Amino acid sequence: MRVIAHVDMDAFYASVEMARHPELREVPMFVGGSTRGVVLSANYPARRFGITAGMPASRARRLCPQVAVVHPDFDHYTAVSDGVREIFDTLTDRVEMASIDEAFIDLTTALRRLGGDPEAVGEQLRAQVMDEQRVACSVGIGPSKFIAKLASKQAKPDGLVRVRDEDVIAFLHPLPVEAIWGVGEATAERLHRLGLSTVRDLATTPRATLQRALGDNQGALLFDLAWGRDDRSVLAREPAEHSVGSQETFPQDTDDVAVVATEILRMADRTASRMRAQAMVGRTVTLSVRFADFTTITRTGTLAAHTDRTNDIYAEAMRLFTRLHLQRARIRRVGVRVEKLVPVTDTYQQPALDEPVHGWTDAERAIDKAVLRFGPRAVQRARLTRRSDAQLIHA
């Protein structure tokens, strides 16, 4: 039995901007042009005034004159989307990004490793996205891509809905025909003229009748979907070169070396955890630093042996940072990435003579299990629990 999850980021552009500007959370706000152009994304307070994505900005301002308008920052939205994708990759390599703000994840073969409960995995995923990226997502889980997507729509905003295989018909048939993929305004109007308003109406109409009314292909497709039949696979992309990384943007530019070092440790810890989840190790560590003027530099170093341990990755990243010899330079963002990963089963780990029988390797694996079961903040290094009062922006 397949288990497919559909993850949909709620009001994505608006959510990212509210993470940057918490003062916008409770006021009507949309991302787009202030006088010209269209609304790209609106938060829920704005939606209560009837403002929706795709609406002309001028009309949105007429509906709510006090609405706050934020001009889009697509580079930042892409960075947040990439960060969310890296979270998905810790679950399985069967991930299909349908767009910048939604993805299908095939959990079928990964469930045993993840504990066996799809709903627990979905809730853990939602918690991790919120903790790392500060944006909400809705998750739908079902036996197919079609049902999973419908379930995520039912889960909005910021929820989770699972449809078990035996519940597909009961879930699907009361829905309006417009809920089915491929049914736009024109098709819906034709179906309504035939007296078909719900999915149940479609399912109880002979396939041949639908094919005569809508054409062979569309008629057959709608009939199958009305019975929940959808065998499309999750189309996972194969990375050209396997790598895992994390980056973080500070709420304010900083020249405090201690603050920067703490966030480099946080990024090393997050990167190492993702590597262990994928059973991968690596030797090539890359540090990226973006300055206040948006210039970015990267430095790469090579470890003596393959590793997935936080301390090893952090030590190399800090060595690269120290060699920059920065003189009070104000830093906007830091990132840590490990590249050219290989499966841990393909490498041999040579233990050091002074290494204890049970050391950091065992401790980090125990931490991973606790985090998977109890959430991203279940166990943390003490240094990483001390954040500044201003919430960091994750990307």
- In tens, the pLDDT along 385-395 reads 655 433 344 43
pLDDT, position 241:
54
Encoding tokens for residue 349? 């780990």
Return d(Cα 57, Cα 282) in angstroms, integer: 48
C-beta of residue 62 within 8 angstroms of C-beta of residue 55: no
One-letter amino acid of 339: E
- Is 269 annotated as a binding-site member? no
Q: Which residues are catalytic?
A: 102
Flag the least confident range among 38-42, 172-176, 289-293: 289-293
Encoding tokens for residue 315? 């030590």
Return d(Cα 240, Cα 246) in angstroms, integer: 18
Flag the least confident range among 139-148, 236-245, 329-338, 372-381: 372-381
β-strand 39-42 against 342-343: which pairing, if any? unpaired
Of 44 and 346, the structure prediction assigns the larger pLDDT to 44
Nearest to 154 by CA among 175, 126, 185: 175
Between the alpha carbon of residue 239 and those of residues 89, 97, 244, 344, the distances in Å are: 11, 13, 11, 18
Task: Label residue 343 exposed, middle or buried (CB < 10 Å: 0-12, 13-18, 19+).
Answer: exposed
Nearest to 187 by CA among 209, 216, 227, 218: 218
Return d(Cα 234, Cα 149) in angstroms, integer: 12
One-letter amino acid of 99: S
Given a cut of 80, whether residue 139 has pLDDT beyond it is yes
pLDDT, position 378:
63
For 74-85, give the DSSP string. Answer: HHHHHHHHHHHH
What secondary structure letter does DSSP report for 177?
G
pLDDT digits (tens, 9 = 90+) for 316-330: 999 999 999 988 899
* Mean pLDDT estimate for the chain: 87
C-beta of residue 115 within 8 angstroms of C-beta of residue 373: yes
pLDDT digits (tens, 9 = 90+) for 98-109: 999 999 999 998
Q: Considering Cα of 64, then 65, then 68, then 74, what sign does the dihedral take?
A: positive
Strands lying side by side in the sheet with 29-32: 39-42, 29-32, 68-70
Given the structure tokens 């959808």, which residue do they identify? Answer: 230
Strand partners, 9: 137
Q: Considering Cα of 348, then 349, then 351, then 356, what sign does the dihedral take?
A: negative
Q: Considering Cα of 314, then 78, then 127, then 24, what sign does the dihedral take?
A: positive
pLDDT, position 276:
87
Given a cut of 90, whether residue 198 has pLDDT beyond it is yes
Phi, psi at 103, each rounded to 5°: -150, 150
- Is 101 annotated as a binding-site member? yes
Average pLDDT estimate for 120-143: 92
Q: pTM to 2 decimals?
A: 0.71
Return d(Cα 191, Cα 196) in angstroms, integer: 5
* Domains of the chain in sequence order: 1-165 (3.30.70.270), 173-226 (1.10.150.20), 243-394 (3.30.1490.100)
Q: Considering Cα of 194, then 199, then 204, then 207, what sign does the dihedral take?
A: positive
Which residues have C-beta within 8 Å of that of residue 80, sequence separation ≥ 6?
Answer: 16, 133, 135, 394, 395
pLDDT, position 366:
72
Return d(Cα 130, Cα 114) in angstroms, integer: 19
Q: Considering Cα of 260, then 264, then 269, then 270, what sign does the dihedral take?
A: positive
- Total residue length of the chain: 395
**Residue 311 CB coordination number (10 Å):** 16
Average pLDDT estimate for 210-230: 93
One-letter amino acid of 187: T
One-letter amino acid of 18: M
Phi, psi at 301, each rounded to 5°: -135, 160
Nearest to 333 by CA among 69, 75, 74, 24: 75
Given a cut of 50, whether residue 227 has pLDDT beyond it is yes
Flag the least confident range among 29-38, 100-109, 140-149, 220-229: 29-38
Given a cut of 90, whether residue 169 has pLDDT beyond it is yes
